[in-house]
């Protein structure tokens, strides 16, 4: 069902207020790795509004390698995040980690993100197939392109067609970067599926200085959107600071991404 053979026309996801995620438009989603506090949300919103970015990302349930790392503000943080963004017409993208979180999160979520550690959590995918909210499905840490498409199939076949795919880097033998952003996946996915392909260069490379070139490369390779991490003070971020852009770096990258997209 997610194949171009089955549906030729690219999927369009309508968010109202003239906001759509679709082929031919560059969708930008930016924000911190983790939602930390009210001031942080407020400053990020100001940055996004000033740059006409319509989606804010941010986790309140964080999948951390160590159980002692910051694991997010939870549902209370999500409510604050959602209310503040709604007041500015910004849509939120946030990770759901398990089935039991879907119902409580739903009223406060615009896009459910499925993280790389949950790409093959088939129970979670089944349940998201029944939800009337868009889903951003990330590629698994060591997942193949076909596995990503089969995971997408779970959600789509359950009845939820508001689905986007996300290439976020895969684990390879390379250790110079956090993950290896698979640029190859972009044209391959674009050919195989009618779903939008959003690229996450922050997790894809994991090194702040190289996020911008990878974002630009992804756009040239055919990405329909970019999701990335930004924070007022990346060095103080509660998670993923090393791959997080400052607002001035983010602003410069937004400018370049729009230029490059227009050139395509």
CB 76 within 8 A of CB 40: no
127/240 with CB nearer Mn ion: 240
253 touching Mn ion, by CB under 5 A:
no
Does 168 contact ligand PEP by CB under 6 A? Answer: yes
What is the contact mask toward ligand PEP in residues 126 to 155, using x (rule: CB under 6 A)? ------------x-----------------
Counting contacts by CB under 6 A, is residue 203 touching ligand PEP? yes
For residue 212, state whether it binds Mn ion (rule: CB under 5 A).
Answer: no
Does the protein bind ligand PEP through residue 97 (CB under 6 A)?
no
Mark 163-192 with x for binding to Mn ion (rule: CB under 5 A) and - for no binding.
Answer: ------------------------------
Sketch the per residue contact string, 7 through 36, with ligand PEP: x for CB under 6 A, - otherwise: --------------------------x---
Residue 237 binds Mn ion (CB under 5 A):
no
Helix (H) or strand (E) holding 257: helix 247-263
Task: Give yes or no for residue 224 binding Mn ion (CB under 5 A).
Answer: no
Place of tokens 């506090």: 37
Q: Which of residues 47-106 bind Mn ion (CB under 5 A)?
A: none
State yes or no: residue 241 binds ligand PEP (CB under 6 A).
no
Closest CB to ligand PEP among residues 122, 255: 122
Which residues, 6+ apart, have CB-to-CB distance to 97 below 8 Å? 61, 63, 115, 118, 124
Query: Rounded to an integer, what distance in angstroms lies between the CA atom of residue 179 and that of residue 116?
Result: 12
Q: Is 198 in the site for ligand PEP (CB under 6 A)?
A: no
Residue 37 has a CB neighbour count (10 Å cut-off) of 11
Torsion of CA 214, 217, 218, 220, to 10 degrees: 160
User: What does DSSP say about strands 13-14 and 225-229: parallel, antiparallel, or unpaired?
Assistant: unpaired
Extended beta strands in the chain, E state:
13-14, 20-21, 27-31, 55-57, 91-95, 111-114, 135-138, 163-167, 196-199, 225-229
| Chain residues that interact with ligand PEP, rule: CB under 6 A | 33, 59, 63, 115-117, 138, 168, 203
């Amino acid at each position: 069902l997610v194949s171009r053979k089955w549906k030729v026309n690219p999927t369009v996801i309508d968010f109202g207020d003239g906001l759509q995620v679709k082929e031919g438009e560059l969708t930008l989603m930016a924000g911190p790795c983790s939602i930390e506090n009210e001031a942080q949300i407020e400053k990020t919103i100001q940055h996004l509004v000033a740059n006409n970015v319509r989606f804010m990302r941010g986790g309140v349930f964080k999948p951390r390698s160590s159980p002692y790392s910051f694991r997010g503000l939870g549902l209370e943080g999500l409510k604050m995040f959602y209310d503040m963004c709604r007041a500015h017409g910004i849509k939120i993208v946030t990770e759901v980690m398990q089935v039991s979180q879907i119902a409580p999160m739903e009223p406060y979520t615009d896009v459910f993100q499925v993280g790389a550690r949950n790409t093959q959590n088939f129970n979670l995918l089944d349940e998201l197939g029944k939800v009337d909210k868009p889903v951003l499905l990330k590629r698994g840490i060591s997942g193949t392109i076909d596995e990503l498409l089969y995971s997408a199939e779970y959600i789509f076949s359950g009845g939820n067609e508001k689905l986007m795919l996300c290439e976020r880097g895969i684990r390879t033998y390379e250790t110079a970067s956090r993950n290896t952003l698979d640029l190859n996946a972009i044209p391959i996915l674009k050919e195989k599926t009618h779903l939008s392909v959003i690229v996450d260069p922050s997790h894809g490379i994991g090194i702040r200085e190289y996020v911008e070139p990878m974002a630009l490369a992804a756009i040239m390779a055919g990405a329909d959107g970019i999701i990335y991490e930004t924070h007022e003070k990346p060095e103080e971020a509660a998670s993923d600071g090393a791959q997080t852009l400052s607002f001035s770096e983010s602003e410069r990258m937004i400018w370049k991404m729009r230029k490059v997209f227009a050139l395509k």
